[in-house]
Amino acid sequence: MYYPILRTIKYKSESIITTLGDGVNTYGTPLSIKPSEARKALNLSSRKLPALCVRQGRTGFASSITTPNAMGERNNERLHVQDGTVWKYWNGSLWIDIQTGLTSAKGKILDFVRGTDRKTILMNGTDKYSWDGTTITSLTQAPSTNKFTVHKGRVYALVGTTIKFSALNNIDDWTTVNDAGEINITNAKGSGTAITTYGGYVIAFTEYSMHLLYGTGPTNYELVEVPGNIGCISDKSVIICNNTLYFVSFDGIYAFKGGEPVKISHKVDEYFKNMNLAYKTSIVAGTVDNDLYIAIPSTASSTGNDLIIRYDVLEDKWYPENGYIVDFVTIGNKLYGVDKDGKIWDMVSGTNDDGTAISWYWESAPRFVKPSAKQTLSCLWVTYDLPTGSTLDIYISNSFDNEDWELVDSLTADANEQNKKVLIPIYKTNDIVWYRIKFVGTGQCTIHSLEEKYRIRE
C-alpha cells in the first residue's frame, strides 16, 4: 500500500512596529514610500514626531471683514487690511479706517523704514498710498501695480517686465533723473509675476525666469538672470522662512539660497499637478517658526485656494490642511490668515477650529508587500491617545488602490485615554499579498505606533 508523504508546512512569525508621523508622500508609486508616510492625509502635523498627531487648532481673531483684498502689518504690531474699498487697521478691539474710496482690487501692504521714519504702503494696481501713523499720502508718481518690495531706502515695483524704483529715501519721488528710474528685464521669459528682497538684493520673477538685481542705485545696478527656466506664478507665494527664500512655480515649490533654486516639493507634486492654473495668482504663502504654509487651488474645479500645504522645513515633511485662505501675515510669533469669507484666523491656536472639532485622516500605501508569497496578518495593535469627545475609526482594504475600505473598529473616548493599546479585528487579512489601513477621526488624537504581527510560509 502506498502511503503519501505529507509535507510539513512551516510558518515563521514576524512583528513590525511602525510610527506613522512622517507626513504625506504622493511621489512615485505607492510601493516606493516609507511605511511611516501616508499616501493621503489631511490635518496632521509634525509637532509630536515620530507619532502621528492631529494639527493644532485655529482661533478667530479680530472682527471679520467683508471683502479681503489685502492683509499686512505695521511695525510687527498692528494688523492691516484692505477690506473692499477701505484700508484699515485693528487696534486690539475695533477696526480703524485709514483710507476709504479705494478700488476694490487685490493689493499688498508693506512697511518702508528709514531710521525712525516708518511709512506703511498699500498698492492695489490702481491706488497707491503711504501712511506714517497719522497722515495718509497719495503716491501720485508711483507706478500702478500691486507687485512691489522695499530695499535699502527705495521702493521697487514690477510693471510688466520692467523694474521701476523710487529715489533714495524718498518714496514720493519716482522721476528724478539719475536717482529714480527703471530697468527692463531684457531676457524675460513670460510676463512679470513677482518681486521681493532677499540676500541683500532685489529679485524679480517672470513666469519662467528669475532675475537678481545687484547694487544700490542707477550708478551700480547689475541685473543677472538665474540659469534655467524656473519662474514664479504668484507674487504672494514668495516668502522667507529660516533664511531661505521659497516660491511657487508651475510644477511646485522651490527653495533658493543663492546659485540656482532647488525644487523641494516632490512628495506633494500631485497637489500641484492638479491645480487650477486659472487661479494661480491667488496662491499665498505664510510662515511661523519652522513651518511654511502655502494655500493653493488644489483641483481642476477649484475657484480659489481650498487647501493648505504645510512644510516643516527642519524635518522635511509635508502635511496638507483644510482651509480657504486668501492671504497670510506674520506678526511676532503669530501667523494670521484671512479666508475667502473674511474671517481672520490665528492659524496655530488651541485644539479645535473656533469650537469645531478638526476632521482628519491618514491613509497608508500597500503594506508589507511580498508578491512571491501570501501572508496572514495575525495581530494588529494600535497605541494611541484619544481625548474625551474625540473619535477614531479604523478601516482596512486588501486592494492596491481601490476605494473599498471596510470599517473594522470605531473608538470613542469616555475619558482622556493615554497610551491605550487596542487590538484591531483582522478578519479581512488572511492570505494576502498586501493590505492598506486608514485612520479617520474627529478631534485631537495621537497614534504612537502600529504593530503588525503576521505569519508567512517558510
**Residue 279 pLDDT exceeds 80:** yes
Nearest 10 degrees: CA dihedral of 38, 41, 44, 50? 0
**Distance (Å, whole) CA 355 – CA 442:** 12
Measured in whole angstroms, how far is the alpha carbon of residue 101 from the centre of its chain?
33
- Determine the average pLDDT of the residues in 431-455: 87
Interval 235-268: pLDDT, tens: 999 999 999 999 999 999 999 999 899 999 999 9
- Determine the average pLDDT of the residues in 90-111: 98
Q: Give the confidence band of 17 by pLDDT, cuts at 50, 70, 90.
A: confident
**Residue 1 pLDDT exceeds 60:** no
Instruction: Show Cβ contacts of residue 399 under 8 Å, excluding neighbours closer than 6 positions.
Output: 436
Of 439 and 366, more confident:
439
Please check whether residue 336 is in contact with residue 328, taking contact to mean a CB–CB distance below 8 angstroms: yes
Please check whether residue 203 is in contact with residue 147, taking contact to mean a CB–CB distance below 8 angstroms: no
User: Could you give the C-alpha distances from 194 to 129, 148, 149, in angstroms and in order?
Assistant: 20, 8, 9
Interval 175-191: pLDDT, tens: 999 999 999 999 999 99
DSSP-assigned beta bridge partners for residue 183: 163
Query: 113-127, 181-195, 388-402, 429-443: which has the minimum mean pLDDT?
Result: 429-443
**On the CB side of 188, how many CA atoms lie within 13 Å of its CA?**
21
Of 31 and 170, more confident:
170
Please calculate the CA angle 220-226-227 and round it to the nearest 5 degrees: 140
pLDDT of the residue at 413: 79
pLDDT of the residue at 47: 95
Interval 344-371: pLDDT, tens: 999 999 999 999 999 999 999 988 656 5
**Residue 8 pLDDT exceeds 60:** no
pLDDT of the residue at 426: 62
**3-state SS, residue 412:** strand
pLDDT of the residue at 458: 57
Interval 188-223: pLDDT, tens: 999 999 999 999 999 999 999 999 999 999 999 999
Cell of 218: 542707477
User: Could you give the C-alpha distances from 202 to 6, 170, 198, 215, 224, in angstroms and in order?
Assistant: 80, 18, 6, 9, 11
The secondary structure of residue 167, as a DSSP letter, is B
Torsions phi, psi for 133 (to 5 deg): 105, -15
**Residue 125 pLDDT exceeds 90:** yes
Interval 144-161: pLDDT, tens: 999 999 999 999 999 999
- Determine the average pLDDT of the residues in 315-335: 97
Please check whether residue 406 is in contact with residue 397, taking contact to mean a CB–CB distance below 8 angstroms: yes
Query: Percent of the chain scored above 90 by pLDDT?
Result: 79
Interval 70-92: pLDDT, tens: 999 999 999 999 999 999 999 99
**Element containing residue 271 per DSSP (H, E):** helix 269-273
pLDDT of the residue at 363: 97
Q: Give the confidence band of 6 by pLDDT, cuts at 50, 70, 90.
A: very low
Q: To the nearest whole number, what is the mean pLDDT of the chain?
A: 91
**Distance (Å, whole) CA 215 – CA 346:** 38
DSSP-assigned beta bridge partners for residue 307: 296, 322
User: Could you give the C-alpha distances from 356 to 57, 231, 293, 350, in angstroms and in order?
Assistant: 9, 39, 21, 11
Query: Percent of the chain scored above 70 by pLDDT?
Result: 90
Closest by Cα among 131, 185, 123, 192 to 155: 123
The pTM is what? 0.93
**Residue 15 pLDDT exceeds 90:** no
Closest by Cα among 428, 267, 268, 451 to 368: 451
**Distance (Å, whole) CA 219 – CA 421:** 70
pLDDT of the residue at 311: 98
Please calculate the CA angle 63-283-30 and round it to the nearest 5 degrees: 120
pLDDT of the residue at 430: 59
Beta pairing class for 181-184 and 162-165: antiparallel
